Amino acid sequence: MAEVTYLEALRDGLAEEMARDERVFILGEDVGAYGGAFKVTEGFQKRFGEERVIDTPISEVAIVGAAAGAAHMGLRPVCEMQFIDFLSCAYSILTNYVATARYRAGLKTPMVIRGPSGGYVRGGPFHSQNPEAAYLHTPGLKMVAPATARDAKGLIKAAIRDEDPVLYFEHKYLYRRIKEDLPDGEEILTPIGQAKVVREGKDLSIITWSAMLWKSLEAAEQLEKTDGLSVEVVDLRTLLPLDDAAIVATVKKTNRVLIAHEDTRTGGVAGEITARINELCFEWLDAPVKRVCAHDVPLPYAPTLEDFVLPQTDDLVRAARWVAAY
């Protein structure tokens, strides 16, 4: 057993796949000798060579497009966005070219795009984004967002082995804050498309992912202590495709649901989950589904503003009480 951070787990997962499969290569800005802005690929260029760890110009369209072309030809590219906020620069080629390639042209495009997402770090409007909603609406993509070190590793490995394009959103707030003992020598693979019940409960469910998992767990503990509520917490882990079975199972178990995400509310993923609950198991609900998410504003920089805009544990506790009491 070795204690590793979320970031180290991700790094180990990447390295294991590069060692295992010579088709895997990395491209991105400053990923080579520098090891990436957050040092995720530190040491990779030395270990795997310049041909497999490529420093690109500041050209997100070229990174994503070149990855697609290489993937068609049988390679397994992993693109790093220096911050996931810059993936929007490649929005067209990703949604129009990459996502449609299999359907429209029968082209295989097994590639991964990963990068730091998320707030709580005083990064301001362009270094804090949670872009999942922008891509949820695009058939042809998969999307994962790990919350734990184990899944950081398990999902990057699964994403690299997947036959389709996978967006892997890692959370920069968790990089060095989350630690976990991971067994050496055990192959960790987290299946894409499978949620996980992280905390069992019977009164109410919180459905969440990424950094909000930890706030949800905190809220669940607090609610147990102060209100005697038994709160179930479900970590979706994969956002595309959504794990409908896991969502339905928790609804049927607790009959009350809160969906918590860090991204803004309007058009956020919580809306889609709510719609599925309505379609699949409405009659099992004892209360309306409630959302806790960020306010609909660009994420501001000042700590007082950022803390207000982003969902906090207290917001979860209050909303959970409302759902429980309904």
Partner 1 sequence: MTSTLEPGTPALHAGLSQAQLHELYYFMRLTRSIEEKLVNLYRQTKVIGGLFRSLGQEADAVGSAYALDKGDILSPLIRNLGSMLVKGATPVEVLRQYMAKAESPTRGRELNIHFNDLERGFLGQISHLGDMVAVMAGVTLSFRMRREARVGLVYVGDGAMSTGAFHEGINFAAVQRLPLVIVAENNGYAYSTPMHKQTAVAELVEKAAGYGVRGAQADGNDVLAVYEVTKEAVERARAGGGVTLIELMTYRRKGHAEHDNQSYVTKEELEAWAAKDPLDRYARHLTEGGRATAAELAAIDARVTAEIDTAVALCENEPLPEPATALDGVLAEPPKAELEWYRRLDG
Chain positions contacting partner 1, by CB under 8 A: 29-30, 32-34, 37, 55-61, 82-83, 85-86, 88-89, 122-127, 265, 292, 295-298, 300-305, 307-309, 315, 318-319, 321-322, 325
Q: Which residue in 41, 45, 82, 109 binds ligand TPP (CB under 6 A)?
A: 82
169 binds ligand TPP (CB under 6 A): no
Residue nearest to ligand TPP (CB): 86
Minimum CB–partner distance for residue 127 and partner 1 (Å) = 7
Give the helix, strand, coil percentages of the chain, each rounded to 5: 40, 20, 40
CA distances from 10 to 149, 186, 188, 199, 235 (A): 7, 15, 11, 23, 18
89 binds ligand TPP (CB under 6 A): yes
Q: Which does 183 bind (CB under 5 to 8 A by kind): partner 1, ligand TPP, none?
A: none
Active site residue 127: yes
Minimum CB–partner distance for residue 57 and ligand TPP (Å) = 9
Residues 6 or more apart whose Cβ sits within 8 Å of residue 321: 223, 227, 229
- 3-class secondary-structure state, position 223: helix
Give me the catalytic one of 127, 137, 171, 295.
127
Minimum CB–partner distance for residue 321 and partner 1 (Å) = 7
Contact 77, 112 (CB under 8 A): yes
129 binds ligand TPP (CB under 6 A): no
Assigned token pair, 222: 């607090």
Residue 265 is classified by DSSP as: S
Q: Report d(CA 42, CA 228) in Å as an integer.
A: 46
Assigned token pair, 114: 């990963």
Give residues 13-32 in contact with ligand TPP (rule: CB under 6 A).
Answer: 29
Q: Which residue in 2, 19, 33, 58 binds ligand TPP (CB under 6 A)?
A: 58
Residues with catalytic function: 127
